[in-house]
Amino acid sequence: MSGNRWLRQAGIASLSAVMFAVAACSNLSPLAADPTATHPLGREDGYIESSLSPFDDAHPAIAKLDPQLRAAAQSAASDAAVEGVDMVVTSGWRSQRYQDSLLADAIVTYGSEEEALKWVSTAEESRHVSGDAVDFGPTDANSWLSQYGHRYGLCQTYANERWHYELAVEPGDMCPAPVSDAASR
């Protein structure tokens, strides 16, 4: 491993440890405490406290989604509601700072950058940072989307993340099989 990569990994792991310590001492979630910043992650980063409506266009996590993705998500949520399925967004657009924080957290959780990258992309590669991905919940909404998401062009793109959807096909076309994880893309 090159010296620079080792330093980067050591730095991310150290930042993650600090992030958990700050979170524990301040009663914040680890995702809300970012030791590299002067303030915690917030709404301006796309941070969502628990979940929000796909129609909450005032929240940056929704407002900064690609307009076609946002429209597809809202249309799917409307149709799912008619069938009694409540659909919420658990993550949409994210700032680079937020994505960096998630990756640092994942490295600590999974024990290595290689394993973490199966679940969390770098900020440079994240489809959330570009506004091209949205995570839905709860589980019944994910089940509904796995059956009908293609009608809106929404496809589950990672097999290990049943909540992660992107516009991957023209509305009505069948979705391709998801890749195994984010590192496989």
pLDDT digit string, tens, across residues 77-114: 999 999 999 999 999 999 999 999 999 999 999 999 99
**Containing structural domain, residue 50:** 42-184
Please tell me the pTM assigned to this model: 0.79
When the pLDDT of each residue in the chain is averaged and rounded to a whole number, the result is 85
The CATH number that applies at residue 164 is 3.30.1380.10
pLDDT value for 37 = 52
Assess if residue 53 is contained within a domain.
yes
Assess if residue 11 is contained within a domain.
no
Give the residue, 16 or 126, on which the prediction is more confident: 126
> Two tokens at 64?
């900064």
Q: Where are the beta strands (DSSP E) in the chain?
A: 88-91, 134-137, 154-156, 164-167
> Two tokens at 139?
């589980």
**Tally of structural domains, the chain:** 1
